[in-house]
Structures are given as C-alpha cells and as structure tokens.
Amino acid sequence: MTVEPAEPIVAGPAEFAPYGDFEADCPARMAVDLFGNSWLPVIVYMLREGPMRPGDLRATIGGISQKMLTQTLRRMEQMTLIVRHRYAEAPPRVEYELTAAGRDLLIPIYALGEWVDRHGSAVRAAMSCADDED
C-alpha cells in the first residue's frame, strides 16, 4: 500500500511560559493525559448540548460500564471539566454539565473528528493490511 504525502500544515508552536527542567512538566503532557482516558472525550462530546443524567449518558454512549462512567465523571469533576447538579427531589436526581474548561475541550475534539474524517479510511486500511500480514 502506498501512502501519498500530504501537503504540510504550517502551524507555529504554541507559546508557553517556561515549565521547568523536565519534559514531564511540559503543559502538553496534561493534554495527552486528558485524551489518554478514552471515555473522557466521549463524555465531553455527549455533554456538548447541555446537562445530562448519568443513566442517559450511559445509554447514549453505549459500551461503558456504570463503574467506569462513575469513575470518569468523578475525575472530570475533580478536574473542573464538569459540574454536578444535585436536585432534592424524590427520587433524587443528578445531572452533569460542562464547565467553561470542559466546553473548551470541544475544540480539539472537533479537530480530531475532522482529522479522522480526512484520514480515517487510510488509517483503517493500513491497519487492516498490517493485521493481514501478522
């Protein structure tokens, strides 16, 4: 399989304040950690139109266990990406909503979606060929 080189995208590096003596202190590491949790971007995307209850999130996402959803929502709340609203009703009701920081994550999520739209079929085809060779 031959892959044609694409036109290079010219984008300058983002300017950050000095971050310390070690690459582990690099601000980009946080971004990689955020997207390293495969459910976090999915949940951010699902909450893009407004608050949702955990059961509705789980049903809409599909394939996520209750335990994983709860762990990810708690982590996102600790990171101030979402806010948890508790309503004193019978039965009690809880909803999760994106904060400003959480909404800002939609920018790279949409960018990744555009990348997949442009290059996903080529990547899938290359992966299929690699699987066939094994």
- Digit-coded pLDDT (tens) for 6-29: 565 556 666 766 666 666 667 777
Please tell me the predicted confidence (pLDDT) of residue 1.
46
Measured in whole angstroms, the distance separating CA 55 from the mean position of its chain's CA atoms is 19
Which tokens belong to 9? Answer: 């995208």
Q: What is the length of the chain?
A: 134
In this structure, what token pair is assigned to residue 18?
Answer: 């000095």
CB 75 within 8 A of CB 37: yes
- Give the model's pLDDT for residue 23: 67
pLDDT band of residue 106 (cuts 50, 70, 90) is: very high
Determine phi and psi for 94, rounding to 5 degrees.
-130, 140
> Which residues share a beta bridge with 98?
82
pLDDT in the model for residue 35? 83
**Of residues 3, 10, 102, the one with CA closest to residue 47:** 102
Q: pTM of this prediction? A: 0.77
Selected residue with higher pLDDT from 58 and 131 = 58
Element (H, E) at 95: strand 93-98
pLDDT at position 9, please?
A: 56
Q: pLDDT by residue (tens digit) across 57-81? A: 999 999 999 999 999 999 999 999 9
How high is the mean pLDDT of the chain?
86
